[in-house]
Amino acid sequence: MQRRIPGVRLAALAGVGALVLTGCLQSGDEGESSSSSSSGGSEGAGGTDPGDGTVEILGAFVDTEADAFAEALKGFEEESGIDVKYQGDNTFTTLVRQNVVSGNPPDIGLFPQPGLLLDLASEDSVVPIEEFLEVGGLEDSLIPGLLDASTDDEGTMFGAPMRVAVKSLIWVPKKAWEDGGYQDPETYQELVGDLSEQIKGDGIAPWCLGYESGTATGWVGTDWVEEMVLRTGGPEDYDKWTSHEVPFDDAIVQDGFDAYDEIVSGDGLVFGGRDGIINTAVDAVDDPQFKGSKPGCMMQRQGNFVIDFFSKDVQKNLDDEVKVIAMPPYEGGFDGDPVLGGGDIAALFNGEDDEAKEVMKFLTSDEFGAEWAKAGGWLSPHTTFDESNYPDQTTKDIAKIVSSADVFRFDGSDLMPAEVGAGSFWEGMVEWTRGDADTATVTADIEDSWPSSE
């Protein structure tokens, strides 16, 4: 099973949950009508006719996720009388731009990548959320930092999250962890130092790690570097890096590489060593954790979508088989608990349609998602969401980790130009992890690959 799951790509993340999204629940009367006028002085418009009782949504999640989304909307549709027609397409990023350019956008778009949303907003195609949502209330209930992803340089917000994915997680086999007497680390230094040495001393490789993902090989490494830049430098430095306010070979980034290198280059810390990292498939990393009478390796840092990769036996007894731990802060780095992840951001194209605004209000509220949460594979971006809706303790633990975060940041490679985030960065991580090039060389090469703004 090979999946491209960087970022949220909420699809497997989403499937990335994979943070990646496929198949589709087609909408009816696609492209039936659109509006070219705007609301409240903004240029965003399009979609269905105002007041026609129908709201069209375009998103990237498909198949079972699309079904779960539809189920989560049923009560709202019955109460409001609004018929929500969802189209899911795994070519969303291309399709939504084509529809906007052709003057036929949906009423609402659900964006897995905030960069694309802001690109369209810069073309006056998206309605600022302050025109129809109570932003102060959102800021009070959302995980801190989530609205930053859809805010432009002038401080205008163009979208609000309707689900999140969490990547700052460490997964361990629960029984083996408890039998070993291992304690949850309080700092990154303790994680890669005393704790890893304790596990290694028991004859177990501390870390389970693999990059192999077909043409996307290397994205796991980019996640690690992003995690460490966020923790060593903090969210402000992280934002400067992902927006290219500082170059890719800045000390901010190199410090993140060096922090991660403590694991990659540590003697006997990774199952299979460097070759194992490069050649182990992303969806097979957990095999030595759970197969056999004793784990071959103990800890895997991966997003909440990794549950999809576990065997059916592990999934059936998730709370008994698995323990999830928050990635700890970096001592001397950011003073707080940051979380790296992804999510789907809802944005309004049709500023003329009050019904579309009502759908947006529901999608971005803490009332949305109970049915989807119960089905599994969905996390609310709201700290006020009723966690009793989550189907198991493991998911509740993940929700607690993300809801208690001091700041949330989106996957960095999803914020970068595709040539970098899904190209030279992935490739550079493979080269660096193999030991073929050092940090200075790899970061300089990636910097040279950044497209010119001229």
- What is the pLDDT at residue 44? 53
- The torsion angles phi and psi of 255, rounded to 5 degrees, stand at -65, -35
- What is the pLDDT at residue 42? 42
Q: Where are the domains of the chain?
A: 54-166+340-412, 169-337
Q: Are 398 and 389 in contact (CB under 8 A)?
A: no
Tokens representing residue 343 in the block: 């999510």
DSSP character string of 360-422: HHHHTSTTTTHHHHHHSS-B-SBTTS-GGGSSSHHHHHHHHHHHT-SEEEE-HHHHS-HHIII
Q: Which residues pair with residue 343 across a beta bridge?
A: 164
- The torsion angles phi and psi of 83, rounded to 5 degrees, stand at -95, 110
Q: Which residues pair with residue 171 across a beta bridge?
A: 300, 324
- What is the pLDDT at residue 292? 84
What number of residues does the chain have? 454
Task: For domain 169-337, say whether CATH 3.40.190.10 is its number.
Answer: yes
User: What's 306's DSSP letter?
Assistant: G
Q: Which CATH architecture has domain 54-166+340-412?
A: 3-Layer(aba) Sandwich (3.40)
State the sign of the Cα–Cα–Cα–Cα dihedral 378, 381, 386, 392. Answer: positive
- What is the pLDDT at residue 47? 77
State the sign of the Cα–Cα–Cα–Cα dihedral 331, 334, 337, 341. Answer: negative
Burial class of residue 343 in the structure, from the number of CB atoms within 10 Å of its CB (0-12 exposed, 13-18 middle, 19+ buried):
buried
Tens of pLDDT along the chain (454 residues) come to: 333 344 433 333 333 333 333 222 222 333 333 333 333 334 455 678 898 999 999 999 999 999 999 999 999 999 999 999 999 999 999 999 999 999 999 999 999 989 899 999 999 999 999 999 999 999 999 999 999 999 999 999 999 999 999 999 999 999 999 999 999 999 999 999 999 999 999 999 999 999 999 999 999 999 999 999 999 999 999 999 999 999 999 999 999 999 999 999 999 999 999 999 999 999 999 999 998 889 999 999 999 999 999 999 999 999 999 999 999 999 999 999 999 999 999 999 999 999 999 999 999 999 999 999 999 989 999 999 999 999 999 999 999 999 999 999 999 998 999 999 999 999 999 999 999 999 999 999 999 999 986 4
- What is the pLDDT at residue 213? 96
Tokens representing residue 408 in the block: 């949330």
Q: What is the pTM of this model?
A: 0.88
219-233 and 251-264 are packed helices; what angle lies between their axes, rounded to 10 degrees?
Answer: 120
